[in-house]
Amino acid sequence: MRSSGAIAAQPSGLADGRPRHRIELRAVSSGYHGKRVLEDVSFVIEDPSIYVVLGPNGAGKTTLFRTIAGILEPYSGTVTIDGLDIGRHEARTRLQYLSHIDGIPDGLRVEEALRFYATVQGATDREVDKVVRLLGIEELRDRYFSVLSQGQKKRVSIARVFFHERGIYLLDEPTSNLDPKLAREIRDLVLALSKDDLVLYSSHNLFEAKEIGKYVLALRGGKIGYFGLLSELRPSRYVIGIRADGAEGLLPSSSKKGDYYLQELAGPQDVPKLVEELIAKGIRIREVKEMENPLEDLFS
Amino acid sequence: MREPSGAGPDDRVPSLAWTTIRRTFAIGWRYLAIGTALSLILALALLGSARHGTAFVTTFPLEVPLFAVLGSMGGLMTFTSDRTKGVFEYLIAYGIRSRTLFIDGLVSTAAMVAIILGLSLAVGLGAAGADRVALNENLWKSLSLYTVPMSFAGALFTAAVGMIWSSVSTPRTGINSPIGIAPMVGIAPTVLVLIVAESVPFSEFYYVTAGSAGAIVAAVVGLLAVSARLMGRERFLSPL
């Protein structure tokens, strides 16, 4: 595992002609009221992909997002967006930030809340209408935000992020506190809208992270614990689960988890050999799957 | 070197002052209604009293600033609500300076004061005129050199203290929160100025009141300028 570092330099433009964006942090320390939460964090991100930011509570995920978004001023170090200091207006107009908090002003209807944020962003009525249609929240326009369900609130909250095409999206736990079905719906929606952009996406859900992320940026104690391709991440133990008929007595039932018999192997290369051996013993294998999520190691 | 909090991205972010005023009206309309109603009731009660002419001319200008402070609480309520709800987090991300957040709070407070004063003075003076009360020079002096300036000064002082206080404290609700205590703090200058003014010769009375109002407004501006510069942006974030 790489303890910290940068993704290798990429070509300066995308195949479709859109500008390539770049986030660079150099020796950034940041936090609250003088207490450092992030300590000497450096990385460069420029491959337009989904970067899942992981870490246990208090690791500094939200602080990292707030620092990149220019909400928190670093105690030391620099944050640049496309080479521009985040303190500059031009830098901020290149990214969109979604907090884990709704941030919708009190006492406003959905329409008014969206217009409020449209005013701040300089978005037109047409752009607001377009996003309202995209997110399917037309019927909520005249309702007060405070009376909406969690899922509806999340949709409205997300809407403001897509008024303008920005190219960089900082999404801090967009699916937190949602039930699994709604979380998937919101996740799919967000990812469809930010397709081909540079997305930093924080989550506590390791399976979600594994499903959507190309890169992983794991924070531990305010420092980068791992930054690299998710595909390069290997669990410390390689455990597979085998769902099979006729395995009683042939596979140890003590290691059974639900319908799956667990087998620890040296690595994926040993799976075909094991499967052949089990078939030779007359076991009818219905399914073989990896049971350990390599991302779990990042939390330990 | 650390950038001052008051600084930030440049000024190409649209002003939210008008939007904030409208939202303040929506959030603080009850206070606005109560402040205005009390001042109107006072005016009518004074005009209905036995010494209605003298009572109105001497008492009405002195009481209106108290109701202006009370009625303009919507500005502070909007500021505190936005901070707690995480609105400021987004606004700062979009490039709005912390100084602007304070200024918008003051502007919306001043707008509420203007509404209360406009209604109170129009109705109060109209009723007094209809009641054939002599609207003499002293009344106009009181209104222009005490009532109007102290209404704005007292309300802005309340808002400034409340905004700074709520920014440096964990949000609480109810009467024991900055919002609950701020009106009492805000009324203090208007009363103190009267006490001081009463201790000087009458010829200097209005110099003291108008001068004090000016000094309070200057103090408010200075206080907020220093706070916006010294206060870290994390002070504006929701603790949720």
Quick: pLDDT tens for B182-226.
Answer: 888 888 888 888 888 888 887 788 888 889 999 999 999 898 888
Interface mutation vs chain A, best among B1, B18, B94, most A CBs within 10 Å: B94
| CB contact at 8 A, A209 and A52 | yes
| CB contact at 8 A, B25 and B112 | yes
CB atoms B85 and A106 under 8 Å: yes
Q: Compute the nearest-CA separation of B227 from chain A (Å).
A: 14
pLDDT of B4 > 70? The answer is no
For residue B16, the chain A residues in CB contact (below 8 A) are 119-120
For residue B19, the chain A residues in CB contact (below 8 A) are 116, 119
Residue A145 touches chain B, beta carbons under 8 Å: no
Q: What was the pLDDT predicted at B1?
A: 36
pLDDT of B140 > 70? The answer is yes
User: In b/e form, how buried is each residue of A92-131, taking b as 16+ CB within 10 angstroms?
Assistant: bbbbbbbbbbbbbbbbbbbbbbbbbbbebbebeeebbeeb
Chain A, nearest residue to B4 by Cα: A73
Q: CA A17, CA A167: separation in Å to the nearest integer? A: 13
Calculate the average pLDDT of chain B: 86
Q: CA A150, CA A155: separation in Å to the nearest integer? A: 9
For residue A117, the chain B residues in CB contact (below 8 A) are 90
Q: What was the pLDDT predicted at A147?
A: 92
Domains of chain A: 23-232 (3.40.50.300), 238-299 (no CATH)
Strand partners, A215: A51, A229
Q: Compute the nearest-CA separation of B39 from chain A (Å).
A: 27
pLDDT tens-place values along chain A, 300 residues long? 333 444 433 334 455 556 788 999 999 999 998 899 999 999 999 989 999 999 888 899 999 999 999 999 999 999 999 999 998 888 988 999 999 889 999 888 999 999 999 988 888 999 999 989 988 899 999 999 989 988 889 889 988 888 888 889 999 988 887 778 878 888 888 788 777 889 999 987 777 888 888 899 999 889 998 899 888 777 667 788 888 887 777 777 667 888 888 888 887 788 889 889 888 888 888 888 878 776 776 766
CB atoms A92 and B96 under 8 Å: no
Q: Compute the nearest-CA separation of A148 from chain B (Å).
A: 16
Q: What was the pLDDT predicted at A16?
A: 58
Q: Are strands A95-98 and A168-172 parallel, antiparallel or unpaired?
A: parallel
For the sheet with A23-32, list strands across it: A35-45, A23-32, A76-81, A84-85
pLDDT of B14 > 80? The answer is no
**pLDDT, tens digit (0-9, with 9 covering 90-100), for B149-180:** 999 999 999 999 999 988 888 766 677 788 88
SS3 readout for chain A? CCCCCCCCCCCCECCCCCECCCEEEEEEEEEECCEEEEEEEEEEECCCCEEEEECCCCCCHHHHHHHHCCCCCCCEEEEEECCEECCCHHHHCCEEEECCCCCCCCCCEHHHHHHHHHHHHCCCHHHHHHHHHHCCCHHHCCCEHHHCCHHHHHHHHHHHHHCCCCCEEEEECCCCCCCHHHHHHHHHHHHHHCCCCEEEEECCCHHHHHHHCCEEEEEECCEEEEEEEHHHCCCCCEEEEEEEECCECCECHHHEECCEEEEEECCHHHHHHHHHHHHHCCCEEEEEEECCCCCHHHHC
CB atoms B23 and A92 under 8 Å: no
Residue A254 touches chain B, beta carbons under 8 Å: no
CB atoms B12 and A66 under 8 Å: no
- Which of B12-26, B137-151, B200-214 is most confident? B137-151
pLDDT of B131 > 60? The answer is yes
Average pLDDT over residues B10-25: 82
Q: What was the pLDDT predicted at A253?
A: 66
The two tokens of residue A152 are 């509806």
Residue A119 touches chain B, beta carbons under 8 Å: yes
pTM assigned to the model: 0.82
Q: Compute the nearest-CA separation of B7 from chain A (Å).
A: 9
Q: Compute the nearest-CA separation of B100 from chain A (Å).
A: 13
ipTM (interface predicted TM): 0.79
| CB contact at 8 A, B66 and B190 | yes
